[in-house]
Chains A and B, each alone.
Chain A
Amino acid sequence: MTSLQGIKKQRVGRFLLDWAAVLTLLLCFVVFTLVKGKAFMSESNMINILRAMSITTVFGIAMTVTMATDGFDMSACTLASCSAYVFVSMYLWYGLSLGMSIVVSVLVTLVMYQLTMFLILVCKIPDMLATASLMFVHQGLGQWYIGGGAVSTGMRLPNGNPPVRTALSPAFSAIGRAPLIIIIMLACVLLVYIFLEHTKYGRYMYAIGGNKQAAKLSGINVKGYRYMAGMITAVFIAVGGIMVASRGSSAQVMNSDGYFMQSLAAVFIGRTVGGAEKPNALGTLVGAMLVSTLENGLTILAVPYYMLPAVKGGVLALALIAAYATKKEQ
Chain B
Amino acid sequence: MERSTLGTRQVSIEFPGVKALSNVDFEVSTGEIRAVVGANGAGKSTLMKVLAGANPEYTGDVLLNGKPIELRTPLAAKRIGVQIVYQEVDTALIPTFSVAENVMLNDTVVNQKGVAMNWRRMYREAQKVLDRLHITVSPRRLVQDLTLAEKQMVLIARAVQSQCSFLILDEPTAPLSETETSRLFELVNHLKANENIAIVFISHRINEIIQICDRYTVMRNGEVVDTSPVTKDTTTREIVEKMLGRSFEENFPKEVVPIGDKVFEVDSLVSDDGKVQGVSLYARRGEIVGIAGLVGAGKSELCKTLFGAAKVHSGAINLKNKKLRMTNPSHAVKSGIALVPEERRKEGVLVNENVAFNLSISSLSKYCKGPFMHKPAIKVNALKQVEDLGIVTPHVQQYVKNLSGGNQQKVSIGKWLATDCSVYIFDEPTKGVDVGAKREIFHLINDIAKQGNAVIYASCENSEILSITDRVYVMFDGRVMAELATKDTSEDEIMHYAVGGQSPQVREEHP
Contact = CB atoms under 8 A, between A and B. Distances in A.
Contact of A218 (B343, B351, B352, B361): B361
A210 B358 CA distance: 12
Instruction: Please indicate which of the listed interface residues B350, B371, B372, B415 has the most CB atoms of chain A within 10 Å of its own CB.
Output: B350
Interface in B345-372: 346-353, 357, 361-362, 364-365, 368, 371-372
Interface string A216-250: 11111111100000000000000000000000000
B347 A213 contact: yes
B364 A200 contact: yes
Which bracket fits the contact residues of B?
Answer: 20 to 34
B307 A201 contact: no
Given A217-B309, A218-B362, A198 B373 contact: yes
Interface in B56-102: none
Contacts of B350: 207, 210-211, 214-215
Contacts of B365: 200
Contact of A219 (B332, B353, B372): B332
Given A207-B361, A210-B352, A277-B352, A201 B330 contact: no
A330 interface: yes
Nearest to A195: B371
A301 B333 CA distance: 60
A203 interface: yes
B397 interface: no
A288 to B, nearest CB: 25
B365 to A, nearest CB: 6
Contacts of B333: 218-219
A221 B351 contact: no
24 contacts: A198-B372, A200-B364, A201-B371, A203-B357, A203-B361, A204-B364, A206-B353, A207-B361, A210-B350, A211-B346, A211-B347, A213-B343, A214-B346, A214-B347, A214-B348, A216-B309, A216-B328, A216-B329, A217-B329, A217-B347, A219-B329, A219-B330, A219-B334, A220-B329
A199 interface: yes
Contacts of B415: 218
A199 B330 contact: no
Given A211-B351, A213-B347, A219-B333, 19 more contacts: A198-B373, A199-B368, A199-B371, A199-B372, A199-B373, A200-B364, A200-B368, A200-B371, A201-B371, A203-B361, A214-B346, A214-B347, A216-B328, A218-B333, A218-B362, A219-B332, A220-B361, A221-B330, A223-B328
Given A213-B347, A277-B352, A219 B371 contact: no
A277 B352 CA distance: 9
A218 B333 CA distance: 8
Interface in A167-216: 198-201, 203-204, 206-207, 210-211, 213-216
B339 interface: yes
A162 B31 CA distance: 92
A221 B368 CA distance: 18
Contacts of A218: 329, 333, 361-362, 415
Interface string B298-328: 0000000001010000000000000000001
B362 A219 contact: yes
* Residue among A210, A216, A219, A277 facing the most chain B CB atoms (10 A cut-off): A219
Nearest to A197: B373
Nearest to B333: A219
B406 interface: no
Contacts of B364: 200, 203-204
Contacts of A224: 330
Contacts of B357: 203
A207 B400 CA distance: 13
B500 interface: no
A192 B350 CA distance: 22
Closest 3 CB pairs of A and B: A219-B333, A221-B330, A199-B371
B110 to A, nearest CB: 31
B290 interface: no
A47 B348 CA distance: 48
Nearest to B353: A210
Contacts of A203: 357, 361, 364, 373
A190 to B, nearest CB: 14
A126 to B, nearest CB: 17
A330 B351 contact: yes
Interface string B198-225: 0000000000000000000000000000
A207 B353 contact: yes
Contacts of B307: 217
B341 interface: yes
Highest count of chain A CB atoms <10 Å: which of B332, B339, B371: B371
Contacts of B351: 210-211, 330
A219 B364 CA distance: 11
Contact of A220 (B330, B341, B343, B368): B330
B480 to A, nearest CB: 24
B371 A217 contact: no
Contacts of A223: 328
Interface string A277-290: 10000000000000
Contacts of B373: 198-200, 203
A263 B30 CA distance: 66
B329 to A, nearest CB: 5
Given A199-B371, A210-B350, A211-B346, A217 B361 contact: no
A303 B89 CA distance: 58
A199 B368 CA distance: 8
A4 B437 CA distance: 32
Contact of B348 (A200, A217, A220): A217
A119 B500 CA distance: 44
A201 B372 CA distance: 9
Given A218-B361, A219-B362, A330-B351, A213 B346 contact: yes
A92 B352 CA distance: 50
B305 to A, nearest CB: 13
A217 B341 contact: yes
A219 B420 CA distance: 13
A203 B334 CA distance: 19
A154 B150 CA distance: 70
A83 B333 CA distance: 39
A203 B371 CA distance: 11
Nearest to A220: B330
A303 to B, nearest CB: 39
